[in-house]
Amino acid sequence: MFKAILCRLIILWSAFVGCDARAQEVFQRLYINSGEYTAVDSAQFPFSAFNATPQFFPENVRISINAGETLKVRVVNNDSVNHAFQIKDKTTQVGIAPGDSILVTAVFDTGDEVFIYHDPMDYPRLTALGLAGLIHVKSNSNSTFYWNVKEFQKEWATQHALGNPVNWSDYYPDYFTINGRSNPNINNDAVARIVGGVGETLRVVIANTGQSIHSLHFHGYHAEIIYSSENSQHEGRSKDTFPIKPMESLILEIVPDKPGEYPVHDHNLVAVSAGGIYPNGMFLTMLIQ
């Protein structure tokens, strides 16, 4: 009896102060680190990334939160030059001096959305150098795979790192990656490689953090556009090829109707190469059992 009254009082109090026990804060620390990227053909060039630790790793942190949660990001500039941070379409640009840090807070009310966070300073120079990752706002517990797609022009990476301008109308990228990896290594990335069963609902969260359009072609299955950051009128369309513009994000849903192993690749064939070698670019396979 006493317990029942206590529970009723707590419920009344919660309603009165408007508190919601489900609202949670998610904390993420990001270090801006600079280093060298080693491509699939052993070519090396400068790369900068947002990592979870002060140690450089050529892949940006993937942030996943639930709709209704508040994200608090502490961004530490672990580099020797000025940087900035912004969640595109969500927060304003904030500068960060070397050795300094900032705290950014953002509330994500709507599920099934994807945001790109990046260094917008001197755009697109530092984003092109590698400083761009994704934030996925979840609404369900479906199996979800993540692709941060990005291409590079090897010779330009050095210019980006030095702060030198380039002429973007002469952009001819020669390395093409998903989560910082290319074929064949990309098939070993459990975060990227779509593996599932017939009839299972699979989600693919994609952000294009490069400066080229990529056109992702799924063999064997159609996918439905659940979310498009730039073209919401495309949501609900079911097809097999998905163009994605620079700094655009998508969520696709696939419900495989048959078992098999089928390729997924960038339909712009130069993007299935690395340093001119085919098929070492944006090319992986889907495995359905």
What would the two tokens of residue 163 be? 């702060």
DSSP state at residue 181: B
Question: CA distances (Å), 61 to each of 33, 43, 51, in order?
Answer: 12, 23, 6
**How many Å apart are CA 131 and CA 169, to the nearest integer?**
21
Phi, psi of 161 (to 5 degrees): -65, -35
Minimum Å gap between C-beta 68 and Cu ion is 38
Q: Please, which residue, 29 or 217, has the CB nearer to Cu ion?
A: 217
Identify which of 36, 27, 70, 34 has the alpha carbon closest to the alpha carbon of residue 51. Answer: 34
Question: CA distances (Å), 102 to each of 105, 250, 258, in order?
Answer: 10, 28, 48
Give the amino acid at 56: F
| 222 touching Cu ion, by CB under 5 A | no
Minimum Å gap between C-beta 148 and Cu ion is 21
Please list every residue from 46 through 85 that binds Cu ion, using CB under 5 A.
none
Phi, psi of 183 (to 5 degrees): -60, 135
Minimum Å gap between C-beta 138 and Cu ion is 29
Q: What is the CA radius of gyration of the chain?
A: 21
Q: Are 171 and 113 in contact (CB under 8 A)?
A: no
Q: Please, which residue, 111 or 279, has the CB nearer to Cu ion?
A: 279
Token look-up 């304003």 returns 92
Q: Which stretch binds Cu ion (CB under 5 A): 8-16, 20-28, 202-210, 211-219?
A: 211-219
Other residues' Cβ atoms within 10 Å of the Cβ of residue 53: 12
Which residue's beta carbon is nearest to the bound Cu ion? 217
**How many Å apart are CA 152 and CA 171, to the nearest integer?**
9
Q: Please, which residue, 58 or 220, has the CB nearer to Cu ion?
A: 220
Q: Are 149 and 173 in contact (CB under 8 A)?
A: no
Q: Please, which residue, 87 or 252, has the CB nearer to Cu ion?
A: 252
Q: Please, which residue, 90 or 217, has the CB nearer to Cu ion?
A: 217
Q: Which stretch binds Cu ion (CB under 5 A): 97-105, 184-192, 210-218, 280-288?
A: 210-218
Q: Which stretch binds Cu ion (CB under 5 A): 84-92, 93-101, 203-211, 215-223?
A: 215-223
Minimum Å gap between C-beta 268 and Cu ion is 10
Minimum Å gap between C-beta 88 and Cu ion is 29
| 217 touching Cu ion, by CB under 5 A | yes
Q: Please, which residue, 217 or 234, has the CB nearer to Cu ion?
A: 217
Q: Please, which residue, 72 or 258, has the CB nearer to Cu ion?
A: 258
For the purposes of burial, counting CB atoms within 10 Å of the CB of 240, is it exposed (0-12), middle (13-18) or buried (19 or more)? middle
For the purposes of burial, counting CB atoms within 10 Å of the CB of 125, is it exposed (0-12), middle (13-18) or buried (19 or more)? buried
Q: Please, which residue, 217 or 245, has the CB nearer to Cu ion?
A: 217
Minimum Å gap between C-beta 281 and Cu ion is 13
Q: Which stretch binds Cu ion (CB under 5 A): 72-80, 105-113, 180-188, 213-221?
A: 213-221
167-206 footprint of Cu ion as x/- string (CB under 5 A): ----------------------------------------
Minimum Å gap between C-beta 272 and Cu ion is 9
The residues of the shown chain that bind Cu ion, judged by CB under 5 A, are 217
